[in-house]
Amino acid sequence: MQFEHRMEVFACRSSRGFAEKVVEAINQRREGDEPLLNLGALEVSQFSDGEFQPAFTESVRGAMVFIISSTFPPADNLMELLLTIDAAKRASASKVIAVMPYFGWARQDRKDRPRVSIGAKLVANLLRAAGADRVMTCDLHADQIQGFFDIPVDHVYASHVFIPYIKSLGLKDLSIAAPDMGGAKRANAYARDLACPVIIAHKSREKANVVASITAIGEVEGRNIIIVDDMVDTAGTLTKAADVLMEKGAASVRACCTHAVLSGPAYERIASSALTELIVTDTIPLSDDPAKDKSKIKVVSMAGTFAHIIRRVYNYLPISTEFVF
């Protein structure tokens, strides 16, 4: 007896809303008489001491299982993803693909001071040990994190949704800015596609999440500037860079940041900053606190991009074109 090749998509609790959009996008791409795909049933039992246990309430035997979960906040969501992967393997899924729109611990990609862990490598090992056959993620903090894995990694770029949005703005005298030296490669890729110059913001830090000073390198005066980065956390660097660029004569400053971590005073800083607009993706949901000012924040969805990649992986089709910025 041969099992039918089939796809099953499940979501951990942190990413159910995003997963629903991915499934909807997959269904929109159906061809011929392909059946409708439903988001699979996954329940999580919670114990009084904080322990929890995911369980599939339908068979996944022989299926290619995609489990969607951003690991933010990191600890519980990573553990839930690991347990769900393990449950799928023990339920005889043929392959288990961890779809992590936001990969937590990506900033811990090296030993930047003595006696610290390399968290990104540890998470890569944990995913493999749990039974993941493949990982899909978006805009890693550093491209070389892909090398931490001994399984295939599909690294998707948010430029697929950011660049069309930037073009729709119709801005003249456009420049792309990197918030620091490490973001120069990303900024250069955007600038090449948009045929515009690059500005580099050189920053120095007092400590983690605390920026001491920022200096802009490049022509700023009269330019409509878009800062591109992989994430926005406390928004200290981003808002300070926007203020510096406006002081130097920029016509406007916007930002495209893939992962909206937005911790601490981030919402307040963005609302009171010189930023015209902050464009983010839905890899991390925005806060549902009505007191948070989101008037300057525009969300563009990565669901369609992930749906496209999932369909191609499921059908064993090449995805090389999706690796271009």
Residue appearing with tokens 């690059």: 198
305: left (phi over 0), alpha (psi -120 to 50) or beta: alpha
Instruction: Give per-residue burial for 199-238: e unless 16+ CB within 10 Å, then b.
Output: bbbebeeeeeeebeebebebebeebbbbbbbbbbbbbbbb
As a whole number of Å, the end-to-end CA separation of the chain is: 44
Distance in angstroms (rounded) separating the CA atoms of residues 95 and 82: 14
Distance in angstroms (rounded) separating the CA atoms of residues 258 and 3: 39
Cβ atoms of 282 and 138 closer than 8 Å: no
* Active-site entry in 111, 203, 292, 296: 203
Distance in angstroms (rounded) separating the CA atoms of residues 141 and 146: 11
Q: Where are the beta strands (DSSP E) in 233-317?
A: 252-260, 277-281, 297-300
Distance in angstroms (rounded) separating the CA atoms of residues 310 and 296: 32
Distance in angstroms (rounded) separating the CA atoms of residues 60 and 91: 6
Residue appearing with tokens 């909206």: 260
Give the count of alpha carbons within 13 A of 151, CB side only.
Answer: 19
Residue 121 appears among annotated catalytic residues:
no
Distance in angstroms (rounded) separating the CA atoms of residues 258 and 198: 19
Question: Is 26 in a helix, a strand, or coil?
Answer: helix
Structural tokens at position 312? 């191609």
Cβ atoms of 298 and 325 closer than 8 Å: no
Report the catalytic residues: 203
